[in-house]
Structure 1
């Protein structure tokens, strides 16, 4: 009975160890799906907006005064313009990576911005004159406006919008997912230097992405580019479609290129366009190898896809250090990734627990409401996650191990308690004598036989003697 019991206990220990070490099987989920789900929540939309207010002066000629009045009455005296691009969060406390050219307006001085605005007005004024039958060149229109108008105020606003908004109008986006940005470190636009900027927003528990070592990137590595390309917008789509992250895939097509300033550049064939600038390019494990920065030269005025360029992540790290920030994974990232693994593996109840924890830490997470809803719907199909019972299994294994030890101990002890075996000798068996401390000799059967023979011989001798 002892041996079967020991075998059963050992088998139960092995089974418990196996159960608590079962990991969710996610082999049926494609790499592209994993990459997209891991990274989407940390990709952000940036608006670098400028507003220039103008006033115009009298010319002393009613004809030209009427021209100016009618022109500005139609177009207004406040010019608003800006740039839009992508970026991604690298720290739960709000440090964001983007291209320098995406936030360039925030770095230009007032006069530079006013000059840009005047150029816009000159172009519009030239078109206006043409529309009323007056033919004037752009240069003449520019010089005329420069003489009779001046700027009075320049305002800037750098806004960062998290994914998941329900409206694309920057003026109406929920303040919970739109933040004012502050540039912490800045390189230079493409063609002038390293096209990287680090922007900081005031927020906590944000999802983030990890920066890879771009020196490890190999030719033909699979990559995915994420961002908000303008080409993905359409009048046929709802307004909030503009704030849905687009993901395109491709491969690294060159690793040894450099910019005109000597900075390293990676080349890929994943499609990007205006609006993708500043967005992350990630490898299969979801880590960022660089940022989408610019495309190849146009051919006959048309963009040619398949030849796009990346500022590597190791260059980005230089600016992260300058900004005073760091690249660290936060608690939201850990819980979110664990939840996804459980969800993909069919452990819906356990995934729900993780997703609800994310919701408590960061309610504005772009994917979490949908995942919570789906996990709740599938909870009746949920598998059992045995690692939840790890403490109980360990306690059982300790008790079972002790039981095995005791069974083995008592089994051997029982076998050692037998009567001593007889010692074979030439004629006697040693037995204890009750009243003496020494053994006595007990005749054996062979000795008895010899004794009887001697007695018989003695009797015969006596008889003959008579």
Structure 2
């Protein structure tokens, strides 16, 4: 009987312990909102800035060619063309063949040009290693030259347009202005000289400031040169690092387990939705989640695989995590295709799978690991879901002690505090405490039982060779409900 009593208590205590832990060991399909919540602290905005001194030559007319053009204009007037028709024809010819009529001089004009690009990324280790796309943090020289010409020389081109319009008495048409802009860019790119180009990469982390709901705080990042791939059609992956601890990591999943028709959820900072002028500055901290399906798996020319999805992926999403239904990262948002009109083709977004990403993590000697902040965050979300707001608040406070200034954490903490004030808190003794009490009861019972036997106390035992003691029957016996 003693063994049965002890066994019953142990089973009861064991049930309490298993009940407390079994769900955490399971692999649960998450609600879409939970996927977004879990990922927000660990998904970051990445800004790459290029600065260079750019010099372009002043110009003068090519005298012989200009004289020939003017003679043609005079001949056209003599043949009966109107003055406006001749002016339009001359401008069309000059703007279409600018280098025929303008030549560079030895006089150079110099400006400090700066261009910025943004993308997304996510933490894979507590000590600040981040995964993103290679094209987010690098650029090929020719593309960079064009970007500097178009963006860094804006002031020169604007001045050219202003002078051009004034020369025409303010009568330049929209088409003529656009032709001038493009002609000026082509001219400057051909003749400009670019000094040393410096590159800086910054990771924007959420930070709460007094009087401001939230803003972003840039932290310098190092690009690991031995772990940078090539932009599409290459393996467009890069590993970067910031010098910080307790970074909130994301869970890594298995892209090989994905099948056509499975759900995918890209998260990131698309430039149009992140920097729209009408939005409050605090919205920069809020990544955007979209949803779609695995449309197909395609083989790249190099023999490796990419995942096609119909989920919306736009500029700025690049390098951001793509999740499966369990909230695990299975790839990176990387590129889209364009239709015949140059617009983004519908349903033609592509994801580099984590299988490829792991090659670059190995190059960098980086092993993904869950951070304490990520664990606290996930536990807090579980508690909030169960309306245990007081305990959730404690978890969030622990998170903020390790890593202060994360807007998503601050927002959840404020929500928990409000729920507590509204009387919605259902926090009670934790399952760990209940299991501990149950274990203590088992120990006490065992000690008492053995003490009783030590003092001669007797437990009901069947007589030798006889029947076991009978328990008096009760009326209408019922099983416990």
TM-score category, normalised to shorter length: 0.7 to 0.9
Query: Alpha-carbon deviations, 1:67-108, whole Å to 9, x = none?
Result: 99xx97xxx822221221111111111111111111123xx5
1:254 is matched with 296
Map 1:276-315 → 2, pairs under 5 A: 276-315=317-356
| Inter-CA distance 331–405: structure 2 relative to 1 (3 Å threshold) | same
1:183 is matched with 223
- Residues 49 and 83 in structure 1, CA contact (< 8 A), matched pair in contact too: yes
Q: How many positions carry a matched residue from both structures?
A: 395
| Inter-CA distance 314–166: structure 2 relative to 1 (3 Å threshold) | farther
**2:79 equivalent to 1:49:** no
2:138 is matched with 104
Query: Alpha-carbon deviations, 1:392-448, whole Å to 9, x = none?
Result: 3211112224445677982246967x9xxxxxxxxxxxxxxxxxxxxxxxxxxxxxx
| Inter-CA distance 386–299: structure 2 relative to 1 (3 Å threshold) | same
**2:288 equivalent to 1:243:** no
Query: Alpha-carbon deviations, 1:229-270, whole Å to 9, x = none?
Result: 123243322123233111111111112x12233321111111
**2:309 equivalent to 1:264:** no
The alpha carbon displacement at 1:43 in A equals 0.6
| Inter-CA distance 298–239: structure 2 relative to 1 (3 Å threshold) | farther
| Inter-CA distance 37–365: structure 2 relative to 1 (3 Å threshold) | same
- Residues 45 and 163 in structure 1, CA contact (< 8 A), matched pair in contact too: no
| Inter-CA distance 258–42: structure 2 relative to 1 (3 Å threshold) | same
Larger Cα-atom Rg? 1
| Inter-CA distance 131–371: structure 2 relative to 1 (3 Å threshold) | same
2:78 is matched with none
The alpha carbon displacement at 1:60 in A equals 8.8
**2:148 equivalent to 1:117:** yes
Distance in 1 of aligned mates of 2:29 and 2:147: 49
Give 2:443's match in structure 1, choosing from 398, 406, 413: 398
**2:111 equivalent to 1:77:** yes
2:171 is matched with none
2:249 is matched with 208
1:365 is matched with 406
Distance in 2 of aligned mates of 1:258 and 1:101: 20
Distance in 2 of aligned mates of 1:143 and 1:90: 43
**2:69 equivalent to 1:38:** no
Distance in 2 of aligned mates of 1:146 and 1:297: 26
Distance in 2 of aligned mates of 1:307 and 1:206: 33
The alpha carbon displacement at 1:213 in A equals 2.1
1:382 is matched with 426
* Higher deviation after alignment, 349-358 or 404-413: 404-413
Normalised to the residue count of structure 1, the TM-score between the two structures is: 0.72
Q: Which runs of 5+ in 1 are unaligned?
A: 419-466
**2:459 equivalent to 1:411:** yes
| Inter-CA distance 353–415: structure 2 relative to 1 (3 Å threshold) | farther
Map 1:214-229 → 2, pairs under 5 A: 214-229=255-270
Give 2:203's match in structure 1, choosing from 160, 166, 182: 160
Per the alignment, in what secondary structure is the counterpart of residue 383 of structure 2? helix
Distance in 2 of aligned mates of 1:236 and 1:225: 24
The alpha carbon displacement at 1:363 in A equals 0.9
Map 1:7-26 → 2, pairs under 5 A: 16-23=13-20
Normalised to the residue count of structure 2, the TM-score between the two structures is: 0.70
Per the alignment, in what secondary structure is the counterpart of residue 295 of structure 2? strand
